[in-house]
Amino acid sequence: MSLVSLAHVCSHLQNASKARLGLTSIPSTNLHLTLAHALQKQGFLSSVTRAGPTPPAPEMIADPSSSPEAEVTQANIASRRLWLGLKYWNNEPVLRKMWMVSKPTKRIWLNHHDLGVIVRGREAG
Amino acid sequence: RARLAAEAEEITEGPAETNEVEFLKFAKDPRNLFNAKNEAALLNQASEEAQELPKMADPGLRYAKEGEDTDPHMIRLLQTTGLDKDGMRRLRIKNLVLHRVVNQTRMGKISSIYFLTIAGNQNGLLGIGEGKASEVEDARRQAMMAAIRNMQPVPRYEGRTIFGEVEGKVGAVELKLSTRPPGFGVRCQHLIFEMARAAGISDLAARVTRSRNKMNTVKATFQALMSQRLPEDIARARGKKLVDVRNVYYGGNV
C-alpha cells in the first residue's frame, strides 16, 4: 500500500490553506476518507462530501442524503472525489501545517501502547 | 515782572476769550462727552497718553512649576502611557546594545551613538526601543522612552513560561524559545535572559541557531514572544473544548 498519496494530500491541504480556499478536493479512497473524517473530528475541516469533479452545491454539503447525485454507482465511481471544507479563524487558517511522520526515508511503526504515550503527551518524538 | 506778566495773562482772558476757556474746560472733562459705568475708566481717558497695559507673563515662554518635569517628551510619554514618575521608576529598563555608528558624508564621518533598550514591568509587559543621537544622554533617553512607549502584553502560561515552542527570525538570526516546567529557570543567553526577566518569565529555554548578532537577537526574541498562539484561540478555531490538564486533573502537581 502506497502512502505517497497521503503526502500529496498533506501538501495540497497546506497549499489550499495558504490560498484561502473554501473547498478543495482529493481523490476518493478509503484511506483518504478515514484521514478526512479524523481531521473533521478534530476540528480542522468543516465538511467532508463525496461528489464528482465539480464542487458540490451547499445544499448537498449540508444534507448529502437529500441530493440524488450523492449516490455512488458503477458508472460514476471512477470520477468521485472527496470535497473538504477548510476553516479559517481570526484571519488565520485552522489547518496550517500538515506533514508525514513516517516517510520513505524513515518509516515509523507504532503499536497501541506507543500511540498512547504520544497522545498523553509524555513524549513528543 | 513775572508776577505782573502772569497777572496780565489772567487779565487778558477777557470776556471774549472766556467762552474759549470755558469750552476747553468743558471738553477736557470726559464726563461731558462720554458715558461709562466705571468712573475710573472714564477719567483714564482724559489723558492723551496711552493706558498702561496690564502686566502679564510672556505667553511664548513656559515656566516650570516647582518639582515638575520640563522635558516635553517626558511629559508626553507620561500622558500617553498613563504612568506617573513612580510607575516609571518601577519599570525594569536595561540597555542591551550600545555602539557607535558612523555615516560617511562629503563633510566627513558623522558618528552617532545607538542604544537598544528594553522596558518591562516584570509582570507580562515588554517593549523594545531604539535611540540614535550624537550625544550619549540623548540617545539613551530616546531609547528608554521608545521602549516604554512600545510596551506590549506578552502571553504567559501560569505567569511563568511561554506557550509551547516559538520561533523568531530577524535578519540572519534564527532562534527558538521553548516552554519549560516550573522551577527550571531562564537558561538562555544573556540578552534573552534580560528580556525574560523584564517580562516576568521565570522558566524558559532558548536556542539561537544561526547568527548571534545582538540587535537582531533582541528583535527576534521579541518577535517570537509576540507570535505565541494561545491554546484557547486554537481550541476556539477548531471548535473543541479546552481543559488545562495540569491544573484540573493533576492539581498543579505535575
Tens-level pLDDT at each residue, chain B (254 residues) = 677 666 666 665 555 568 888 888 888 787 887 787 877 777 766 566 777 788 887 788 877 777 677 889 999 999 999 999 899 999 999 999 999 999 999 999 999 999 999 999 999 999 999 999 999 999 999 999 999 999 999 999 999 999 999 999 999 999 999 999 999 999 999 999 999 999 999 999 999 999 999 999 999 999 999 999 999 999 999 999 998 888 888 777 76
Q: How far does B238 lie from chain A, in Å, by closest CA?
A: 4
Rounded mean pLDDT, A68-93: 93
The answer to whether the CB atoms of A44 and B238 lie below 8 A apart is yes
Pairing mode of beta strands B204-208, B186-187: parallel
- Give which of B158, B91, B99 is closest to B130, Cα–Cα: B99
CA B59 – CA B210 distance, rounded (Å): 58
The answer to whether the CB atoms of B239 and A43 lie below 8 A apart is yes
pLDDT confidence of residue B69? 73
Q: How far does B231 lie from chain A, in Å, by closest CA?
A: 12
> Within an 8 Å CB–CB cutoff, is residue A97 touching chain B?
no
- No. of H helices and E strands in chain A? 4, 5
- Give which of A121, A16, A92, A53 is closest to B179, Cα–Cα: A121
Residue A93 has pLDDT above 80, yes or no: yes
> Within an 8 Å CB–CB cutoff, is residue A87 touching chain B?
yes
pLDDT confidence of residue B93? 97
- Give which of B87, B77, B95, B220 is closest to B149, Cα–Cα: B77
- Give which of B92, B88, B109 is closest to B100, Cα–Cα: B109
**Interchain CB contacts (distance < 8 Å): A and B:** 17
Which pTM value belongs to this model? 0.77
CA max distance for chain B = 125
pLDDT confidence of residue B33? 79
Q: A17, A94, A122: best mutation site toward chain B, by most B Cβ within 10 Å?
A: A94
Residues 6+ apart with CB under 8 A from A102: A3, A108, A109
Q: How far does A116 lie from chain B, in Å, by closest CA?
A: 16
The answer to whether the CB atoms of B233 and A43 lie below 8 A apart is no
Q: B176, B238, B240, B246: best mutation site toward chain A, by most A Cβ within 10 Å?
A: B238
Please report residues of B whose CB lies closer than 8 A to that of A94: 237-238
Single-letter amino acid, residue A27: P
CA B92 – CA B119 distance, rounded (Å): 6
Q: How far does A47 lie from chain B, in Å, by closest CA?
A: 13
Q: Which neighbouring-strand residues pair with B179? A: B204
> Within an 8 Å CB–CB cutoff, is residue A98 touching chain B?
no
Q: What percent of chain A has pLDDT over 90?
A: 78
Q: A92, A96, A120: best mutation site toward chain B, by most B Cβ within 10 Å?
A: A92
> Within an 8 Å CB–CB cutoff, is residue A65 touching chain B?
no
Torsion of CA B68, B71, B76, B79, to 10 degrees: -20
User: How many other CB atoms sit within 10 Å of the CB of residue A47?
Assistant: 19
pLDDT confidence of residue B20? 86
pLDDT confidence of residue B42? 74
Q: Which neighbouring-strand residues pair with A106? A: A103
B252: alpha, beta or left? (left if phi > 0; alpha if psi -120 to 50): left
> Within an 8 Å CB–CB cutoff, is residue A122 touching chain B?
no
C-alpha cell at B116: 537598544
Query: Would the CA dihedral through B158, B161, B166, B172 be positive or negative?
Result: positive
